[in-house]
Structures are given as structure tokens and as C-alpha cells.
Amino acid sequence: MNSINSISQQILSKLPLYRLKDLIKAVRACKTAAEERSVIQKESANIRTAFKEEHNDTRHANVSKLLYIHMLGYPAHFGQMECLKLVASPKFADKRLGYLGIMLLIDEKTEVLTLVTNSLKNDLNHSNMYVVGLALCTLGNISSSEMARDLCSEVEKLLGSSNTYIRKKAGLCALRIVRRVPELHENFLSRAKTLLNDRSHGVLITGVTLVTEMCQQYPENIEIFRKAVPLLVRHLKNLVSAGFSPEHDVTGVTDPFLQVKILRLLRILAKNDQEASDAMNDILAQVATNTESTKNVGNAILYETVLTIMDIQSEAGLRVLAVNILGKFLSNRDNNIRYVALETLNKTVGIETQAVQRHRNIILDCLRDGDISIRRRALELSFALINESNVRVLTRELLAFLEVADSEFKQSMTTKISLAAERFAPNSRWHIDTMLRMLKLAGNFVREEVLANFIRLIAQTSQLHQYTVQKLYAGLKQDISQEGFVLAGVWVIGEYGDVLVNGGSFEDENKTIEVSDSSIVGLLESILMGPYANQLTREYILTTLMKLSSRLNDHDVQQNIKQILHDHSTSMEVEIQQRAVEYTQLFSFDNIRSAVLERMPVPEGRSIIESSTSENDINSHASGQGQQKSGPSDQDLLLDLMGVGTASSGDQQQEEVSVSPEPQQQQQQTQQSTQNIDLLADIFGGGGGSSGSSPIPPTTSSPPPSSSSLNKNNALMDLLGGDVQPQPSSTPPPSNSSPDPLASLGFSMGGTTSPSSAQRSISPAFSTGSPAMANNSPTLSTTQTSSSTTTTTTTNGYQAYGKNGFIINLVPAKDRNNGAIINIQVLFHNSTEGTISSLQFQAAVPRSQKLQMAPASSSTVQSGGTEKQLMRINNPQQTPVKLRLRISYVLSNGQKIDDVAEYGPFPENAF
């Protein structure tokens, strides 16, 4: 009896504190994290002691417990060498646990991994297929680059094994090797072809995955494996037409995993290859029609089928079928499937637009989905579907969604709605109504360039001025909380306040709204004092009130405007105070006030909403249907408000594009009196200044001025490198006996009486409040159309364009006062026998340069005649001048020519 007890004590002394099951129970019995840590620490200490004492009988159990401790997140690195000892054991159980420990405790960056290579090589040549399987599994999970190179030959040999189990494991191991060392893929090319012929689904799916990886790593392998397309099609056909197979069935679908893998490989092999695409059209149609969509596995196969159809050169009918499958996905209750469908439709809408249009109603329903990701994708797809035929319906739905959309959507939505309306608007009134509705709903989320484009739309639609100003006036009386709507309304009322008053009372939404001088000023005053007014709004309103002072005739209203300006002359905001003071001073000069505050011309299309660097920027810019460049800043909008135009965008990140004014606009400009032109030239520094931002002076067919005015004009033309030849006229020159109003204005503001001092005194009234803008702000565009002077002199300079008998020559010259400025005279010569009409000339320069253009002398070039146009390029970095030109004209036979040309750089010493 004593001997039995002693033997029992010896056995128990060799056993650890816990068996694996006991350790698991002890851990689960812990009520706090501290208790769990205590149990783990105690057991880890026992395991370390056992490892040091080399207890071979307990090594298996200790490593098992150590792996469990590792799974709980506690340190277990000290058991790495014990795992290597288990791998060296001849017992299968020890090898299995040892390889499992290696995969868990060792990664490819661990130095101990190099000790595993020899054991793996021995086991890869083992006679027991399960031991070989263990080695292949370990190699496929933790193989490093060095190990892959060392054992590549063994894996290649095992790919040809007669054992299906080993071939499958070797294929997965080869996949790991190809990913770690792509250049070793050549070793598996021949073996991979044989795997595609295997009847075993496990080996086949492994082979398909391996071939897919090799084709993705090295696209030149696609030609090698493209010959296997008929074989893959046959495999897929067998899977689709096969009956019930318990071994491979997943919810009624035969091996969906293999089907998906084959479809992915077919998509890669048939891309950009018509023959391979034709070979799989029938089977793709069969898969798309026979696969059930009620189960998730069926949806997975259908999704891969759709991707394959859209990625290869498939038939049109097959593409429509694929889009219809995605349409069914949109009706699925599973949000994941609906998201996948929307994401795929976004990618395919450019390929099969008409087919996607059939599912427009379902897509619009997704805008009301509770999942924000689905709403975002549905919104992107809705904008992609807009065209000329459905712009009314889709825009109405998008505006309805805009009202309830999340704030993060609103800015992008307003931008895209503006783009769609500009591109597909059926008429100007619908365009204006759409923009007004958008501004009412999300005026606080409108980008600056969108607002600038809307202002330009209003300015150029003269027949709807009264309608627009009445709509904005009525909207402002109802709601002033939307900043974009307020800014647009204030700007339009300032420009067309007289149109609003002359139109009298009007009806809006079955309500009669009375309009009077006092009600307009009262509305602006209420906005000015309201809770939503910020500095920008106040700047707009002060300028609008000043403009209304020359449009409204009521004496009390005039006094009210003066009082409002006087009240803001002590504002804490420097810009507001400066404007109020200067506008108040302007009331002292009634003889020039109307000219300064006259209605501004239609702003040029200089701003683009979404930047683009494509070659078609100029074309889309000119047609008005392209995307818009990044638009003007707040400063540019304020300058627009004062009638200060620029020849190019305020943002210099894109190429500067300058467009010649329309002939109708030129005719309107020539109707201004000579006196107003001279006064404006004085105010804005037209008589001097040599900065790069000085405006291009007007050239008019006005009567000969006095000697002082003539000298001033000669100086301006000298500045631009042109010649001034006054035309004879019987009209006597205007008298200069009256005192200079600008000298008085400069004196009253504490400045000198010189024109330059007067310019410095009044220029802040038209600045934007930023001191840095004094030298960089866009200049006033007061270009006037010169008389059409057709000459028959021989053209000279450098030829930039010559087609259809129409020649364009460029004559460059350095500016006399500023070496960074280049003045280029453009000569349009007509060598045909007929007349060239409707001439439009546009130019673009590199980003580092800035371009300004004066209007052409005429849009019609007589036979043998020459017309002129002046361009001015500011090139501060002295980079080579390169021009991209767009020319549009109509020949005498009625044929319209639209052409693009490039010129540059100019030869050395050209200017």
C-alpha cells in the first residue's frame, strides 16, 4: 500500500498545477480582471519552470495551455523554442501542436523562423500525407521571402502529386510564395495549367485562385492562360447545370465559391479581348438567368456575373440584363446588397445610360433610405442620370431631397444642381426658377462660384430682369435666413431696383405685393439690422443702397439712404466704415455719381465651378456646357457688385482664359457718353499707373478731345504699345473750363489735388476690405468698342493660325513701364473673296501668367481686310509665353468654323 502511494505522489509531482481543461475552468471562474491576471501569471510561472526543467512528458500539455494564454492576449513568446521541439518529435500529435504554435507565436519577421526551414523541408518529403499537409499549411501561413525561395522547388514538386489533398495544400502554398516573391511565379506556370483540369473542386478552386494571382501580378501571363477560357467556361457550365450534390451544395447552389472564383478569372482573361468575350457570352447569360436571387449565395454569384459582363466586351443585350439584375438588387431588403447595387450602377451608368434610366424611380426612392451610405450613393447616381429629357423631373426630386438632406450633403448638392441646371436647362426662366428654389432651401450652403454664376445668368437674361427681381424681392420679404439668397437678392435689387419700381405691385403665390421706393429701402434696412447679417451682407447692402441712390427718385428715400450710410461711418468694422465714409462723400459729386453707379455689364464667363485639367477646358468654357472652374472669391463678388469686371478668374490655380466681349455688349458700351468715359478713366487710374493689373483702356470713336485729354489717351495707348490716331470730326471738343471734380474729392478727403492722389483717395471705395488686395485686385473692365476700322494693309508679326483663307498674326511688344507685361496686337486678316462674320476669339495662357483682352475692332472681317484686337499678358516669372487659342467664325457660304490652335513660345528678341 505504501509503495502505491509513493508512486502516486511521484506521478502527481510531475503534473502541472492545471490541465488545459482545469485552466479554462479556473479562468472562467474569475470574477475580476485582477483574479484572471493572477491565475495566468501563476500558471505562466509554472510553465516556464517546466520548460527549464525539460519535462518532455508535460511539454505537449504546457504548450497547449500556453497557446490558450496567448489567445487571451497575455505574453507567450517564451514558448517558441518548445514549439520547435514538438515539431521535431516523430509523433503526429506533437507535430500538429508544434506547427500550430509556430503559426500563432512566430511571424515572418521573427529570427526563430529560420530554424523552422529545415523541419519544414524534412516534413514536405515525409511519407505521411497528413504530415506533409501540416508542413504545407504552416509554410502557406508564415512563409517569408527567404523561406519561399528555399522551399519553392519542394512545393512545385508537390503540385504534381497524385494525392488530391496534397495538391490542394501545395496550390495554396504556391499562392503564398507568389505573393511574397512574385518573380517565382514562372516556376508554377506549367503546374497551374494542370490544376485547371482537375476534377476535384478543392484543387480546382485553388488552381483558379493561383492563376488569378499570377495574372494580376504579371499581366503578360494573361495571354498564356487565355487559352484556358473554353475550359473555364465548361467548368462553369457544369456547375450551373449540375443537379443536387450534397458534397458541394450551399443552400441549393452548387459550389458558389468556385463559381465566383471562375467568374473573376474570366473577367481578367477576357478584358479587352473580343474573341474571349464572345466565348463566354452564352454561359454568362445562362448564369444570370438561372441563378436564384432569393438566397445570399445566389446574389453573390449574380454580382460577380454583372461585374464580369460590364468589364468585358459583351453584347449590348447582356449589358442590359446585367443592369436589370442590379435593379432587382435595389428592391432587396438587405442594405448591403442595395449598397453594392448602387455602387456598381455608379460605375456602369456611363456605359449603359438608357438601361439605368429605367430604374430611376427605385434609385430616387433610395434617397429616403435610413442608411446614410445608401443615400450618398443614390444621390451620386441621381446626378449622373440627369439629361435633357429628364432634367425637370430629376431636379424637382433632388430639390425635394435637398429640403430634408443632411447638412453634409447640401453644399455638394447645390453645386451639382447648379451644374445640371446650367447644362441641361430647357429655357432661361426654368433655370432661374430652379436656382431661386435652391437658394431658398440651402442658401447657407452655396459656394461662391455658384452664386457668381447665378448673378451672371440674371445679368445676361435681360428679358427676365423684372421677373427675377420681383421673385427675389418677394422671397426676401418672407425669409432672410439664407445667406446665398440674401446676397443674390441684394445684388439684383441694387442693379435693377428701377425695374422693380417701374413694374409696380405684382402677385406672388396669390398675394399682392406692393413696391415703392421706401419699401425697397426699408427691406434692405431690415436685413441690415436683422440677426442674420454678417460683414459680407452689410458690404453688399451698403453698396446696393448707394446704387439705389441713383435709381430711386424719392427725396425722403435719398435722405434715408444718406442717414444709413452716416450711421455706419462709425462702424467698428473697418471695411464697413470705409465704404460708408466714401459713399457719403460721393453724394457731393452728383455730376459723376450716376456714371460711377451705372448698371454693370454682363460679367464674363470667367469662373468654373469644378476644376478640370483636360484639353477640352477651353471648349467647354466657351460653349457654356462644360464644368466650371473654381470660382471667384468674396473679393471678386464684391468687385462685381460695383461693376468691376475681370478678364480672368480670381483663382490662378487653373489656366487664365479670356473671352472677347459679345458684339451686342460692345454696341451697348459705345452708347456711353465721352464725358462719362473720361471721368471713369480718371477715377480708376485710366490716365496712368504701370502696374501689371492696370486696366486695358477704352478705344472709342469719340470726337477729338482737348489737348490734355489727348495727351492722357496717348499716354494710355503708349502704355499698351498701340497707336492713337484721332479721327476728324466736325463736333467741337468738350470744354474743360469746369473745375476738376476729382481734385475737389481728393481735397475734401485730405489728399492732394493730383489725379494720382485722387485715385488713391477714392479707390478704397471699390476695394474689398483687404489691404493686400490693393495691388492684386482685379481691375475695372471699362472697355469700350472701337469703331470698325477695316484696313487692307499687309499683315505682319508671327502667324498663329491660318486656315480657310483666315489668318491670325500676333505682334508682341514689351510694355515700356513694366518689363513683366507683354502687349500683343492680334491681327485678323481675311484673304478670301467673301466676308467672314461672327468672329469670336478666345485665348488661354499658362498658370503662372495672367491675361487681359480688349474687344476686337469688329466681329466682321471684310474681304482683304484686317481687324485688330489687343491682348495684355502679365508674366512676373518671365516664363515662356505660350498661347492656346480658340477661334470661331462663319465663312461667306454660311459654314461655321470652330477651331483650336496653339502658339508659342515666341522667338528670341521678338519683343
* pLDDT recorded at residue 7: 67
* pLDDT recorded at residue 796: 72
Within its chain, how far is the Cα of 461 from the centroid?
Answer: 29
* 441's grid cell: 432651401
Higher pLDDT, 818 or 584: 584
Estimate the share of the chain in helix, then strand, then coil, as percent rounded to the nearest 5: 60, 10, 35
Other beta carbons within 10 angstroms of residue 667's beta carbon come to: 10
Positive or negative, the CA dihedral 316, 318, 319, 321 is positive
Instruction: Give the contacts of 126 (CB within 8 A, at least 6 positions apart).
Output: 132, 135
* pLDDT recorded at residue 732: 39
- Tell me how long the chain is: 911
HEC letters along 426-481: CCHHHHHHHHHHHHHHHHHHCCHHHHHHHHHHHHHCHHHHHHHHHHHHHHHHHCCC
Q: What is the mean pLDDT of residues 865-888?
A: 89
Under 8 Å between Cβ of 40 and 68: no
pLDDT single digits (tens) 315-371:
888 999 999 999 999 988 889 999 999 999 998 888 888 889 889 899 988 988 888
* 588's grid cell: 457731393
pLDDT single digits (tens) 88-127:
888 899 999 999 999 998 887 777 778 888 888 889 999 9
Other beta carbons within 10 angstroms of residue 44's beta carbon come to: 18
Higher pLDDT, 360 or 762: 360
Higher pLDDT, 728 or 209: 209
Positive or negative, the CA dihedral 763, 769, 774, 780 is negative
Measured between alpha carbons, how far is 514 from 848 in angstroms, rounded to an integer? 52
Q: What is the mean pLDDT of residues 813-840?
A: 89
Under 8 Å between Cβ of 852 and 696: yes
Instruction: Give the contacts of 754 (CB within 8 A, at least 6 positions apart).
Output: 743, 746
* pLDDT recorded at residue 6: 65
Instruction: Give pTM, 2 decimals.
Output: 0.59
How large is the angle between the packed helices 634-641 and 483-502, nearest 10 degrees?
Answer: 10
Report whether pLDDT(695) > 50: no
Q: What is the mean pLDDT of residues 757-768?
A: 33
Other beta carbons within 10 angstroms of residue 81's beta carbon come to: 11
Under 8 Å between Cβ of 533 and 542: no
* pLDDT recorded at residue 17: 53
Element (H, E) at 145: helix 145-159
Q: How confident is the model at residue 712 (pLDDT cuts 50, 70, 90)?
A: very low
* pLDDT recorded at residue 580: 93
Instruction: Give the contacts of 800 (CB within 8 A, at least 6 positions apart).
Output: 808, 809, 810, 883, 885, 901, 903
Measured between alpha carbons, how far is 472 from 492 in angstroms, rounded to an integer? 8
Higher pLDDT, 708 or 476: 476
Measured between alpha carbons, how far is 332 from 336 in angstroms, rounded to an integer? 9
By percentage, how much of the chain surpasses pLDDT 70? Answer: 77
Smallest Cα–Cα separation from 394: which of 427, 412, 429, 367? 367
Report whether pLDDT(175) > 70: yes
Report whether pLDDT(813) > 60: yes
Measured between alpha carbons, how far is 61 from 344 in angstroms, rounded to an integer? 52
* 836's grid cell: 467672314
Measured between alpha carbons, how far is 654 from 676 in angstroms, rounded to an integer? 35
Report whether pLDDT(71) > 80: yes
**Integer Rg of the chain from CA:** 40
656 forms bridges with which residues in the sheet? 845
pLDDT single digits (tens) 435-460:
999 999 998 999 888 898 899 999 99
* pLDDT recorded at residue 603: 79
* pLDDT recorded at residue 505: 87
Q: What is the mean pLDDT of residues 731-751?
A: 36
* pLDDT recorded at residue 543: 94
